[in-house]
Structure 1
Amino acid sequence: MTTGRNWEQEFSDYLSTERNYSEHTNINYLHDIREFHSFMMEEAIDHFTDVTYMDVRLYLTHLRKQEFARTTVARKISSLRSFYAFLLREKVMNENPFAFVSHAKKQLRLPKFFYSQEMEALFDVVYANNDPLTLRDRALLELLYATGIRVSECAGILLPDIDQTYQAILIRGKGNKERYVPFGAFALDAVNDYTKGGRDILMEHHMKEHQTLLINHYGDPLTPRGIRYCLSKVIEKASLTRKIHPHMLRHTFATDLLNNGADMRTVQELLGHASLSSTQIYTHVTKEHLKETYMKHHPRA
């Protein structure tokens, strides 16, 4: 093997350019590979090409001792299997030492969603007053619930992406795939109120010029991390007691559509899922919801 080459970086470039993976996915792959490299150093394994099937078995034992969830272990192994497939492709390996590892069966974890009273509590917070940042949080909450887009996708919305006539937004999703997602009157009003009474004021005050829709107190674009922080503060103000996270808005969007009769293919398209199987998990949620309602209200349940 040519030991001078940076295989981690070359693999990262391959994922970005040839596989068109998102930056987030790329970062996860590299994290898993670097974690494995740390294990190699502990075991005195000098190079990636020196890894054997026995080393992989030792690594699996190491992961199990860490008590990771099965889904986490499966993801780490998948990352390394892909990395070694790349090394095979580059003809620096004769075989993939991770090829023998069977795919760990994933536990079916149903997506958590907000109940209607919880959504009402969240909206009460963002409609409490009309200062610039509350108007922004209102637009943010209305958009996420109206469209089901990911937090990272929401951070990337530019003003020209919003078609007010057709009430649709151009969304750039995973793998830089574009899709149009419609939104309703509440979200439209919230966005308009924010752009005129919130965004414009902050942009002018801080003398900023850019097209990003969602901004922070200083007029700079909100990052995905910034959006999660803003939502966590809204959730905190709503005094919701159970453990919840911003991504549940996406789950709530999908669950509410299916509960109200939307077909699976449409929901798949709106969510930007490449595979229908990713969307089908929400049918389990709706079945759970039906069962819960039945058990609660049927006299002989």
Structure 2
Amino acid sequence: MNEDSTVPGFITPETTFPAALHAWELHLKNEGRTTNTLKAFISDLQLLASYLPPDRTIGFVTTADINSFLSWMENERKAPCSPKTYSRRVTSIKSFYKWLKGNGVISEDPADKVIQKSVISPLPEILTTVEYQKVLETANAYRTFSKPDARPMALLQLLLSTGIKKNETLGISPNHIDLEDPDHPVLYIRYDSPSNRYKERKIDLPLDWITVYHEYMAQYPVTKTLFNYSARRLEYILEEIGAGAGLTKHLSFNMCRWTSAVHDATIGMSNEELRTKMGVSNIQWREISAKLLQLKEIYMPMNVEERAS
């Protein structure tokens, strides 16, 4: 009998891909996978199924079939396949067949010996130390307008000091901000999905941000979430700050996250502290830490003029 209740008894090696993928989708939902992950994983397996002969069922796919599919996808398919997409599709296929084998549907896993290529994504774009100060000054200036607006500074300083992601920013509630100790305010990052619990963490907040936070709360009373706006609206606020600061680059959530990490690494935060603060796994940290070493040179360009200043 299958150990996983999301694997119906009718699924056998002779089952077609559509029927098996429906059951796998239920399994992924029960694991707490995000909607985007579900769509991507199912789409990846549907692409594999469309490549194989129409009568090929889930239990009669070989390692050679999978490698042939990956070669076609990388070299022959008209639609381009980025290294990141290629890597995800290999992960999707491996996950699907590991699930089938783990529940006794198949005796051999054809994806087990498929090689997962290491994919190193390009270096992210970050702010330099000069740009860092410029965007903060620009955001802070909104607080002194004839109609004061603390929202730009509340958002930007929070991102640059904590390095949180866009979805984490959207999920912050006022009760996630702990001001009980006035000398040590903290932000709690929470996740609803059990599969993301390892990302939950406590991050120290800068004392000067608390003043901005209180101004923002007085101007924009909130009840459910701290930033009760769409993701696009918050992105627009960042873009407006960047334009006001004269940046030629696109100020974004991701740029703030990476700039925050490089800043922390530059001032001497330990690797383990920074990994925990970013909410990433040990495996993810390997690539991130290597990038941070390179990004330090961008963050603090050591030319003669800056050394003399």
TM value normalised by structure 2: 0.76
Matched, 1:263 2:270: yes
Deviation at 1:133, TM superposition (A): 9.7
RMSD of the TM alignment (CA)?
3.2
Distance 1:157 1:280, change over 3 A: same
Query: How far apart are 1:270 and its partner, in Å?
Result: 1.2
Q: Which residue of 1 aligns with 2:47?
A: 38
Measure how far apart 1:248 and its partner are. 1.7
> Secondary structure of the residue that 2:150 maps to in structure 1?
helix
2: distance between equivalents of 1:185 and 1:90? 52
Q: Answer whether contact 1:139 1:190 (CA < 8 A) is retained.
A: yes
Q: Deviations over 1:145-200 (max 9, x none)?
A: 11111111111110111112331011015713432111102321221111111x12
Taking a change above 3 Å as real, the CA distance of residues 292 and 253 of structure 1, as seen in their structure-2 partners, is closer
Q: 1:29 to 1:77 in 2, by over 3 A?
A: farther
Residues 105-162 of structure 1, C-alpha deviations (whole Å, 9 max, x = no match):
2236434321122223322332232478942232111111111111111111101111
Query: One-letter code of the match for 1:138?
Result: M
Aligned partner of 2:36 in structure 1 is 27
Amino acid in the other structure paired with 2:131: E
- For structure 2, list consecutive stretches of 5 or more residues without a partner in the other structure: 1-11
Q: Aligned with 1:128: secondary structure? A: helix
- Please say if residues 162 and 203 of structure 2, whose CA atoms lie closer than 8 Å, have aligned partners that are also in contact: yes
1:112–1:195 distance in 2 versus 1, CA, 3 Å: same
**Cα distance in structure 1, aligned partners of 2:142 and 2:284:** 41
Structure 2 CA distance, aligned partners of 1:255 and 1:180?
A: 19
Give the conservation status (yes or no) of the 8 Å contact 1:113–1:251. Answer: yes
> How far apart are the structure 2 equivalents of 1:82 and 1:69?
20
Q: How does 1:131-146 map to 2 (within 5 A)?
A: 134-146=149-161
Kept in 1: contact 2:128–2:301 (CA 8 A): no
| Corresponding position of 1:171 | 189
Please give the secondary structure, in 1, of the residue aligned with 2:253: coil
Counterpart residue identity of residue 28, structure 1 = T
Q: Say whether residues 1:60 and 2:66 are aligned partners.
A: no
Which has the larger displacement, 54-63 or 259-268? 54-63
Corresponding position of 2:210: 188
Counterpart CA distance in 2 for 1:162 and 1:154 is 12
Q: Which residue of 2 aligns with 1:219?
A: none
Aligned residue identity for 2:159: L
1:291 to partner: Cα distance? 9.0
CA distance in 1, matches of 2:287, 2:65: 37
Compute the TM-score of the two structures, normalised by the length of structure 1: 0.78
- 8 Å contact kept, 1:267–1:279: no
**Counterpart in 2 of 1:92?**
105
Residue 8, structure 1, aligned to residue 18, structure 2:
no
The verdict on how the C-alpha distance between 1:233 and 1:11 changes in structure 2, with shifts beyond 3 A counting, is: farther
Distance apart, 1:254 and its partner CA: 1.3
| 1:232-283 per-position Cα deviation (integer Å, ceiling 9, x unaligned) | 3433443421355421211111111111111111111211122175166335
Moved more, 131-140 or 176-185: 131-140
Which moves more between the two structures, 61-70 or 43-52?
Answer: 43-52
Instruction: Sort the Cα spacing of 1:152 and 1:159 in 2 relative to 1 into closer, same or farther, 3 A.
Output: same
Residue 75 of structure 1 deviates from its aligned partner by 1.9
Matched residue SS, 1:169: strand
- Structure-2 separation of matches of 1:49 and 1:37: 15
Query: Letter of the aligned partner of 1:180 in structure 2?
Result: K
| Identity value in percent | 22
The residue that corresponds to 2:7 in the other structure is none
| Equivalent pair of 2:164/2:278 in contact (CA under 8 Å) | yes
Structure 1 pair 294–31 and aligned structure 2 pair: CA distance change class (3 A): closer
- The amino acid across from 1:136 in the alignment is R
Task: Tell me the SS of whatever aligns to 2:40.
Answer: helix
